[in-house]
Chains A and B, each alone.
Chain A
Amino acid sequence: GESVGLHLPTLSVQEGDNSIINCAYSNSASDYFIWYKQESGKGPQFIIDIRSNMDKRQGQRVTVLLNKTVKHLSLQIAATQPGDSAVYFCAENIAEYGNKLVFGAGTILRVKS
């Protein structure tokens, strides 16, 4: 299907290597962050989240790091697999704005076999 990531930055990694996808967020009042994965022709799928009172959270093969000082979020994927190829978006939530999520620009991850 048509890719939704035609104009987005691309990260290419070798299968089995670790991937790090970065995101800068805009609002210091953001209190909740989510990483989404979007495969071609599909809606975004939740990967992992983190609240602002934490600086690290781990899931299965994924880790999210939050640096509030510089307003930076990263997603680390261990042992990247071909099925990880997708567009990845970070999203920030500001509770006082009614829990609306604001999405970052997105990064295309391409996994080379």
Chain B
Amino acid sequence: SAVISQKPSRDICQRGTSLTIQCQVDSQVTMMFWYRQQPGQSLTLIATANQGSEATYESGFVIDKFPISRPNLTFSTLTVSNMSPEDSSIYLCSVAPNTGELFFGEGSRLTVL
């Protein structure tokens, strides 16, 4: 298993600003995943972050809007840039230490005004 801590747990942001979400894992993992969960909806994969390489983004998500850092095997950040109300969502960090089952953090709930 893996224990994942995310910061902030929630925030209220102003339109046009950027916010960086941190994800810390209690063990070393190769792959970390960032998901978005819009209100009342399911989870959508934003990108996969591997240590030492550029993140791989899914269709509809771009690096300029969601830059990701992966400086080591236990930490990653996701930045939501130039936010608009449409970015109001829960952002979830997840890892798959044993290939297959994904473990999730508690999520970062962002509200953009």
Contacts and interface: CB of A to CB of B under 8 A. Distances in A.
B101 A46 contact: yes
A99 B92 contact: no
A99 B42 contact: no
Chain A contact patch, size range: 20 to 34
Nearest to B43: A103
Given A34-B101, A99-B100, A100-B48, A44 B41 contact: no
Given A43-B106, A98-B48, A101-B45, A4 B100 contact: no
A43 B107 contact: yes
B106 A49 contact: no
Interface residues of B, number: 28
B60 interface: no
A7 B41 contact: yes
A7 B31 CA distance: 31
Interface string B75-113: 000000000000000101010100111111111010000
A100 B106 CA distance: 19
B96 A99 contact: yes
A78 interface: no
A104 B43 CA distance: 8
Interface in B2-60: 4, 31, 33, 35, 37, 39-45, 48, 56
Given A4-B37, A5-B40, A105-B42, A99 B104 contact: no
Interface of A: 2-8, 32, 34, 36, 41-46, 49, 89, 91, 93, 98-106
7 contacts: A2-B39, A2-B109, A4-B39, A7-B39, A32-B100, A42-B106, A99-B100
Given A89-B43, A101-B102, A102-B45, 7 more contacts: A2-B109, A4-B90, A41-B109, A46-B101, A91-B102, A98-B48, A103-B43
